[in-house]
Amino acid sequence: MKISCFPKYRIGRLLGMIQILLGGLVIIVSISSLFRFYSAGFFMHNEDICKQFYGVKDVYEGFDVMSLSARVDEVLDKMLKLQENLESKVQQMEKIKDLVNNTVSMLDYKKFIEEDVIHPLYGAHIALRQLRLPRVENGTTNEDPLINTFVTEEIRKYITPKETRVGNKNIYGSQKIFNTIGHGCVSMKKELEEYMDYDIGSFCKDDWNVAQNLMINGCDPLPRRRCLTRASKLYQKPYPINESLWRIPDGRNVRWSNYRCRNFECLSIKNPKRGYSKCTGCFEMEKEKLKWVTNTSLLTDFLIKDALAVKPGEIRIGLDFGIGTGTFAARMQEHNVTIVSTALNLGAPFNEMIALRGLIPLYITLNQRLPFFDNTMDLIHTTGFMDGWIDLQLMDFILFDWDRILRPGGLLWIDRFFCNRKDLDDYMYMFLQFRYKKHKWAISPKSKDEVFLSALLEKPPRSL
């Protein structure tokens, strides 16, 4: 009996000791987490620091303390459950000791430690580590998403949803306005904080290139800023519309400091140090003037008048998705068609150029859904942008988005899309999957391995 009793007794004592150990461990983990919390500045009760973080004290009291205490409660809850569980287990074992001659096998013992001790302890530990993040509520998010990821006051102010001042519904009929930033901003925290570091109301840094870099790398849309954007020293009035369309603009109307070139002449294709590599001939008006109006030897070069002849008088508004200086839009304007041209300033002032020509640049990356409503555009023209480099899945999402904004009967003009000959089938499938009506379809060789594909397709009616 003595021998049989001994292991059980030992197990009870062991569990007791484990409990004490775990208690100690938990205290250490809590202290270290809280220390981290403290070092991030979240525990300072200094009024100034609260102001720096939250600007408005209500926000501090209404939101973050709640989030913090909710997390602490969660952890305390878990700890309490663990303790109760362990205690009841010990009592259970004491009872068994008196009744049955039962030795706990090593396997049961291991299982018990794993399931009843380590798992809950791990849960509590993780919960403590996440003290700095707001707890994700089930279904309704009481906390502002990701707000605690950022420390810079201006970012926190920006992404805090803004309640209406009068009544409980705003102009959209919703309760709050949610300023959004791309979730990619979280991985570019340092750059974003640098971008948002300014004195409210004073001049911004000359950092559009920092902003564009953020956008391209996924921090898109970017937050608005409350600083004054810089302009060129002596902004000249633009040329009148009868001249501006086909004339290189006044270089003084561009801020050149973040480009390699300092004037429009320098952007010439002949200059090897022009600082950009996409659409290299686009700043040469003599060459631009030939596009879409003169016959070339390439089958894949369609003319604007032929494309418009497919739907006479029906094409009035459209989107030119690509990289360029707005020449397509300029030509279409001559046909009384309004075209919005997408443009990024990739090494050259494409946006400024388009605007100075009197056309509409749309400053947008590939990251986003297009800011047009469903079934609204008469035409989408694309050239020089979506080429063989593009991931097929990305392209699929983009093409479906185009399909969304194109109206029934609208035209999709794929202009000199090029890719490797061996990839042609994949891309052809991409374009043909929508079962658009083919008005024009041409393939011609670009080089030994590459081919051009051009197509003029019409979106069919969708009466569903």
Ligand X SMILES: *[C@@H]1O[C@H](CO)[C@@H](O)[C@H](O)[C@H]1NC(C)=O
The contact pattern for ligand X, residues 47-86, with x = CB under 6 A and - = no contact, is ----------------------------------------
* 221 closest CA partner among 172, 178, 183, 194: 183
Among 295, 297, 393, 463, binds ligand X (CB under 6 A): 295
Question: 């270089």: which residue's tokens?
Answer: 251
Give the nearer residue to ligand X in terms of CB position, either 168 or 242.
242
Q: Which stretch binds ligand X (CB under 6 A): 90-98, 149-157, 239-247, 433-441?
A: 239-247
Segment 188 to 227, residues that bind ligand X, using CB under 6 A: none
Positions of E strands within 269-428: 317-322, 338-342, 360-362, 377-383, 406-420
CA 103 to chain centre: 59
Least separation in angstroms between CB 10 and ligand X: 15
Segment 302 to 341, residues that bind ligand X, using CB under 6 A: 335-336
Q: Which residue is nearest to ligand X (CB)?
A: 101
Among 242, 277, 297, 463, binds ligand X (CB under 6 A): 242
Give the nearer residue to ligand X in terms of CB position, either 139 or 201.
139
> To 5 degrees, how large is the angle CA 237–CA 238–CA 241?
135
240 binds ligand X (CB under 6 A): yes
294 binds ligand X (CB under 6 A): yes
Among 47, 87, 243, 265, binds ligand X (CB under 6 A): 243
C-alpha 409/C-alpha 314 separation (Å) is 9
C-alpha 432/C-alpha 417 separation (Å) is 14
3-state SS, residue 142: coil
C-alpha 320/C-alpha 415 separation (Å) is 10
Q: Which stretch binds ligand X (CB under 6 A): 15-23, 237-245, 342-350, 437-445?
A: 237-245
Least separation in angstroms between CB 231 and ligand X: 26
463 binds ligand X (CB under 6 A): no
Q: Which stretch binds ligand X (CB under 6 A): 226-234, 235-243, 359-367, 429-437?
A: 235-243
Give the nearer residue to ligand X in terms of CB position, either 51 or 81.
81
Q: Which stretch binds ligand X (CB under 6 A): 160-168, 240-248, 273-281, 345-353?
A: 240-248
297 binds ligand X (CB under 6 A): no
Among 39, 105, 138, 393, binds ligand X (CB under 6 A): 138
Give the nearer residue to ligand X in terms of CB position, either 47 or 73.
73
Give the nearer residue to ligand X in terms of CB position, either 15 or 332.
332
C-alpha 188/C-alpha 103 separation (Å) is 57
Q: Which stretch binds ligand X (CB under 6 A): 72-80, 238-246, 262-270, 413-421?
A: 238-246
As a whole number of Å, the CA-based R_g of the chain is 32
3-state SS, residue 319: strand
Give the nearer residue to ligand X in terms of CB position, either 304 or 386.
304
Give the nearer residue to ligand X in terms of CB position, either 160 or 244.
244
C-alpha 136/C-alpha 71 separation (Å) is 10
Least separation in angstroms between CB 76 and ligand X: 16
**Two structure tokens written together for 268:** 């010439």
C-alpha 99/C-alpha 92 separation (Å) is 11
> Residues touching ligand X: how many (CB under 6 A)?
11
Considering Cα of 224, then 226, then 231, then 236, what sign does the dihedral take? positive
Q: DSSP characters for 193-213?
A: HHHT-S-TTSBPPS-HHHHHH
Give the nearer residue to ligand X in terms of CB position, either 52 or 333.
333
3-state SS, residue 250: coil
221: cis peptide before it, omega within 30°? yes
Least separation in angstroms between CB 202 and ligand X: 40
105 binds ligand X (CB under 6 A): no
Give the strands of the sheet with 437-445, arranged side by side.
360-362, 338-342, 317-322, 377-383, 406-420, 450-458, 437-445
- Residues engaged in binding ligand X (CB under 6 A): 4, 101, 138-139, 240, 242-243, 294-295, 335-336
